[in-house]
């Protein structure tokens, strides 16, 4: 009987799953955030307001210091007399709102000096506001015919407060100027130092005209801060 070939079963290998890599899109990098932008934007508009208040207050104070007829001032004359101290009080308030942006910008260039600058600026501005409001009360009282001793007390108080405020502000401006020089903004630093030195010197007897030069430096300072703080500070960028 012939042999019949027996079929040998052939094992077929099981299919091996092949993983096909699916390209995953790389996560988009977050846009660069603007460092200190709220403080800088606030400081920019506060500097612009301070510039306007300084121009208005200085002009009204110059008009009020001019010779005028004796007797009670008219309505317009009284508005001029009261408007000068009111505008300068607003100047001190607005100046305080520039301090956070200055601290944010300059703190890396002198941790101790920035504390001196910001502390003297805030205290000096508070004394300035109090002094100008006291001056406002003295002017209003004199216009209403208050007794001379009472007006003299108010006048002495406002003079003391304003001088103390000016001295502290002069220290703060000088410190801010040194910090700006350290961070490379030499022109703005020189303007700040000049404003501080001239403000302090203008409080000495016989050197009052120097305070007018200080006011010119203040105008340049606020204009420069307005332009500088309008630009947001990018991460890792030069802070000033």
Give 149's pLDDT tier (boundaries 50, 70, 90).
Answer: confident
Q: Is residue 1 part of a domain?
A: no
**Contact status, residue 177 vs residue 189, Cβ threshold 8 Å:** yes
Structural domains in the chain (count): 1
Q: Is residue 16 part of a domain?
A: no
Q: Is residue 160 part of a domain?
A: yes
What pLDDT score does 45 carry? Answer: 95
Predicted confidence (pLDDT) per residue in 9-52, tens digit: 555 555 555 555 445 444 444 343 444 568 899 999 999 999 99
Q: Is residue 204 part of a domain?
A: yes
Q: Is residue 221 part of a domain?
A: yes
> Does the structure show a pLDDT above 60 at 185?
yes
What pLDDT score does 109 carry? Answer: 92
What is the residue range of 211's domain? 37-63+75-229
Q: Is residue 5 part of a domain?
A: no
Q: What is the mean pLDDT of the chain?
A: 83
Q: Is residue 193 part of a domain?
A: yes
Predicted confidence (pLDDT) per residue in 37-90, tens digit: 688 999 999 999 999 999 999 999 888 777 666 555 666 777 888 899 999 999
Predicted confidence (pLDDT) per residue in 108-136, tens digit: 999 999 999 999 999 999 999 999 999 99
Predicted confidence (pLDDT) per residue in 27-36, tens digit: 444 343 444 5
What pLDDT score does 133 carry? Answer: 94
What pLDDT score does 33 carry? Answer: 43
Q: Is residue 70 part of a domain?
A: no
Question: pTM for the complete prediction?
Answer: 0.78
Give 167's pLDDT tier (boundaries 50, 70, 90).
Answer: very high
Query: Mean pLDDT over residues 157-175, rounded?
Result: 95
């Amino acid at each position: 009987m012939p042999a019949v070939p027996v079929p040998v079963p052939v094992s077929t290998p099981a299919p091996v799953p092949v993983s096909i890599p699916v390209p995953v899109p790389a996560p988009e990098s977050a846009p660069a955030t603007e460092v200190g932008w709220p403080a800088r934007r606030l400081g920019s508009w506060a500097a612009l307001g301070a510039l306007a208040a300084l121009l208005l207050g200085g002009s009204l104070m110059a008009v009020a210091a001019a010779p005028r007829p004796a007797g009670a001032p008219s309505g317009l004359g009284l508005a001029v007399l009261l408007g000068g101290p009111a505008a300068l009080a607003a100047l001190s308030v607005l100046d305080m709102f520039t301090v956070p942006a200055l601290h944010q910008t300059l703190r890396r260039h002198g941790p101790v000096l920035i504390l001196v600058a910001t502390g003297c600026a805030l205290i000096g501005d508070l004394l300035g506001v109090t002094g100008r409001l006291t001056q406002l009360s003295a002017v209003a009282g004199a216009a209403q015919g208050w007794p001379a001793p009472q007006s003299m007390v108010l006048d002495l108080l406002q003079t003391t407060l304003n001088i103390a405020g000016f001295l502290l502000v002069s220290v703060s401006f000088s410190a801010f100027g040194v910090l700006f020089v350290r961070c490379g903004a030499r022109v703005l630093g020189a303007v700040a130092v000049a404003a501080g030195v001239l403000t302090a010197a203008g409080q000495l007897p016989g050197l009052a005209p120097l305070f007018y030069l200080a006011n010119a430096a203040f105008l340049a300072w606020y204009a420069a801060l307005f332009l500088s703080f309008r630009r947001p500070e990018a991460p890792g960028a030069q802070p000033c």
